[in-house]
Amino acid sequence: MLARGTSLVWGALVAAVTLAAPPALAQQQTIRQYQLRPVDGVVRLVMTEVPRPTAGPGEVLVRVRATSLNRRDLSILQSSYGSGDREGLVPLSDGAGEVVAIGPGVTRFRVGDRVAGTFFARWVDGRRNAAVNATARGGSVDGMLSEMIVSPEEGLVHIPEHLSFEEAATLPCAAVTAWNGLFTYGGLEPGDYVLLEGTGGVSVFGLQLAAAAGARPIITSSSDEKLARARELGAFGTVNYRTNSEWQREVRALTGGEGVQHVLEVGGVDTLEKALQALGFQGHIAMIGALSGSAGAMPTGSFIGLGTRVTGIYVGSRADFEAMNAFISEHRLRPVVDAVFPFEAAEAAYELMDSEQHLGKIVIRL
């Protein structure tokens, strides 16, 4: 793994990767995958060869064509996410590819179908429980950074026809999270004001989904260049929080003093209080992340006075994913892919995620 803070010219690095691709996997008895393993006392990405997997009863063998990163993946690599032994874990929750074999009893898929994995391999619908939590890809169970994976058939969805594998690979975590925060729990309606913090994957998906639904998304960033890009994507308003420390006042002003109806809260302790100041009556806060930390007092008085609803969002079910895919297909939405790295340069993809220089999603092509 490249050292944190290393400065890279991403395009030049990707162009410099000239490792030969392996022979067609159909003729191989082994596949390549990345695993998290200790090297000199530090957990790193290590490419390894393992036997080619086979699909058992109720299982589907998928040739993975693209994967994408989330902030969670960086935290897992750096051992700051959850607990437990990560040695040997195949990382990344997000990936898309094509079905190459099905096991006995599989009815939902055929060979050749284009699919994406769900974040939780065994959450179809209904309430999440401990058994579901134990199937989170790239954390509790092996993830997608592998040339082939075996999945239970209930842990896959068909991908929208107009999307490439690279685009579809960005959907399972960040897009479903934004969808649930705004629609499933937020009940977003046309004309609603939406506050989006930063220009990471969840926020950019929130921007695209909200704009497509006729809402009025307002997005913050420390980069004027990223804010200009956000306006091209449909942002109703933009605020630079670095040059405007009281950014919540400008957000509220953009709503004519009404306040926003929705917040995708990814910042945590440093942003929640200001987000509340930008929130209108009967608004909804989707608690998604804590980039600045999770400590701090909850202003319960403000919640009561505003009639605020707060929902903790941990991605979603297969049913949520499929509902979102129908919306994406209807509106012909295309995910924002900032950079695509070859499989051999997976470490560089992590490094770009760590640099926070990207807007939208980072993809690894297999």
Query: At residue 178, does pLDDT exceed 80?
Result: yes
Whole-angstrom distance, CA of residue 113 vs CA of residue 284: 38
Res 26: pLDDT: 66
The CATH H-level superfamily of 10-173+317-328+335-365 is: Medium-chain alcohol dehydrogenases, catalytic domain (3.90.180.10)
How large is the greatest C-alpha to C-alpha distance in the chain, in angstroms?
65
169-187: average pLDDT:
97
Q: With CA atoms as reference, report the closest residue to 356 among 306, 304, 291, 305.
A: 291
Whole-angstrom distance, CA of residue 315 vs CA of residue 17: 33
Res 234: pLDDT: 96
Residue 85 CB neighbour total at 10 angstroms: 7
Domain ranges of the chain: 10-173+317-328+335-365, 186-312
Res 271: pLDDT: 81
Length of the chain in residues, anyone? Answer: 366
pLDDT tens for residues 314-352? 999 999 999 999 999 999 999 999 999 999 999 999 999
Residues 202 and 288 sit within 8 Å (Cβ to Cβ) = yes
Structural Rg of the chain based on CA atoms: 20
Q: 186-312 maps to which CATH number? A: 3.40.50.720
Collapsed DSSP state (helix, strand, coil) of residue 57: coil
3-state helix, strand and coil shares in percent for the chain, rounded to the nearest 5: 30, 30, 40
Name the band, by pLDDT with cuts 50, 70 and 90, for residue 299: low
